[in-house]
Amino acid sequence: MLDTLGMRIEKVQLDNGLNNVNFAKSVNCNYTAMSMYKMDSRIPTLHTIMNICKVYNVDANWLLFGDTKNDN
């Protein structure tokens, strides 16, 4: 189960076969910040959340809360 926001962000990255640098760049985010988001040591900006959802067609409720049919 994907209990945290960071775990769900990492799932999006892995499901799309991207390395850390390319994933961060694809959503216009600094690599270091993205690493902290994935470790749940920092909360992503709204801009980053919106970009992840838009670029990777991810449901915001699933990304933020783990709710919806996208939860595997």
Single pTM value for the model:
0.90
Burial class (CB in 10 A: 0-12, 13-18, 19+), 41: exposed
Q: For the chain, which domains are there? A: 5-65 (1.10.260.40)
* pLDDT tens digits for range 3-41: 999 999 999 999 999 999 999 999 999 999 999 999 999
DSSP annotation of 1? -
DSSP annotation of 42? S
